Amino acid sequence: MNIVGDHADDILHTAFRRLLGAKKIEATRGKCREVLAARIELRNPRCRISQTESRGKIFSAIGELLWYLSGSDYLDFIKYYIKLYEDESDDGRTIKGAYGPRIFSPNSPSQWEVVRRILLTKQTSRRAVIQLIKHDDVSTIRKEIPCTVALQFFLREKQLHMQTYMRSNDAIKGLPHDIFAFTMLQEIMARDLDVSLGRYYHCVGSLHLYEDDAEDARNYLEQGHQEASPMPSMPHGSQWTEIKQVLQAEQRIRLDDYSAPVEMPKSPYWLDIVTLLKIFKARKNHDNDAVYRLKQTISNVGYLPFVRSRGVEKPAAEHSGRQLSLLDEANGGKTR
C-alpha cells in the first residue's frame, strides 16, 4: 500500500479507509485489521498535525517528543501526557523500549551526533542511520519493545529527507504521534546541518487498526477533509540551546517546581511550545481562565483550534487562580 499526501490528514484519511476494508487477524493485543508493507510519503513534513478534533493530538504529541529529546525512559514523565504508557512498563518506573535513551544516549557520541557528523563529512552518505531496535528487544519477553526499527537521513541537493522504518504501527494511537515526532526530529537535524527540509517517508511492516478503535476511525472520516495548517519553520541554526530551555520549563511546569528561575526560549517558535505546555497544565487543573489568557499570547494562530476545541472562549473572572500565577512565574513573571 502506497500513501502520498501533502499533510497529515491526507495520510490518515487514506490509511483509515483502506484499513477499514482490510482483512482481520488475531494479534497479541486483540483482533485488528492489517495492511502489510505500507509506504507513506508526506510531501510537506511541517503539515505534521491533524487538524481534526479527534486526531489533532498536539499536546500529547509535544509531550512525547520532549520525552524523546530529554533522553528519558521515566514512566512518570510520559504518563503525564499519555496515560496508556502505564500499561507498557515492566517495573512501574521506566519504559524499557523508550526511544530517547537510544537516540540521545549520554554515552558520547550519541547516535544523533554520529549521524550529524556523517552528514557533515559526506553529504551523499547512506550510513546516516539511527537504530532503535536491538537484538535483546526481540529475544527478551517484556511488555513493550520499540515499534520503530530505524531512522535514516538522506542529504540530497541541500535538502534533508528522512525515512522511518517501523516493524508495527497502530494507525489510531501511534501513527499521528509518530508522524509528528519524527518530522520534528527531521527538521531539528536539518537545522543542525543548515539545510532545507525535504520529504518524509514512513515504511511500516504491519500497519493495523484494532477492532476496538474502528469506530474512532469511522468518526474521524466523517469529519471530512480539513484545511492544511503547517507549523512555522524552525529558526535558523542549531535548536539545542532553546530545546534545553524548553525541557527545563517542561519539567518545572509538569512537576509544579517553582523553586528556581528558568531561562525561557527567545524565539516565538519554541516559546509557543512552552505556552502550549502551560495550557495543558491549566486544562488538567480545570483553570479555564488561565487557558484563555495563555492562548492570547500564542504567536502561531495555527495552534488556536487545538485550544478552542475544548470550548474555552473567555475568562470567567478578571483574575485566575494560583496556578496561572505559578505558570507566569515560570516565565519570569510574564505571560510570554
CA–CA separation, 61 vs 66, rounded Å?
Answer: 9
Q: What is the pLDDT of residue 77?
A: 98
Q: pLDDT digits over 229-238, tens only?
A: 899 999 999 9
Q: What is the mean pLDDT of residues 8-31?
A: 93
pTM of the complete model: 0.92
Q: What is the mean pLDDT of residues 129-142?
A: 89
| Domain extents in the chain | 2-222, 240-329
The answer to whether residue 181 scores a pLDDT higher than 70 is yes
Q: What is the pLDDT of residue 330?
A: 44
The answer to whether residue 138 scores a pLDDT higher than 70 is yes
CA–CA separation, 162 vs 145, rounded Å?
Answer: 22
Q: Locate all alpha helices (DSSP H) within the chain, ordered by sequence.
A: 8-20, 58-70, 75-79, 100-103, 111-121, 135-139, 175-193, 214-222, 240-255, 268-284, 288-295, 304-308, 322-329
Per-residue confidence band for 225, with pLDDT thresholds at 50, 70 and 90: confident
Residues facing residue 168 across a β-bridge: 206
Per-residue confidence band for 220, with pLDDT thresholds at 50, 70 and 90: very high
Residues facing residue 102 across a β-bridge: none
Q: What is the pLDDT of residue 332?
A: 47
Pairing of strands 2-5, 30-42: parallel
Is 138 exposed, middle or buried (CB count within 10 Å of its CB: 0-12, 13-18, 19+)?
Answer: exposed
Q: What is the sign of the dihedral through the CA atoms of 271, 273, 274 and 276?
A: positive
The answer to whether residue 215 scores a pLDDT higher than 50 is yes
CATH 3.30.572.10, applies to 2-222? yes
Q: What is the pLDDT of residue 31?
A: 94
Least confident of 26-30, 198-202, 204-208: 26-30
As given in the structure block, the three cell numbers for residue 1 are 500500500
**Percentage of residues of the chain with pLDDT beyond 90:** 79
Comparison of pLDDT for 56 and 16, the residue scoring more: 16
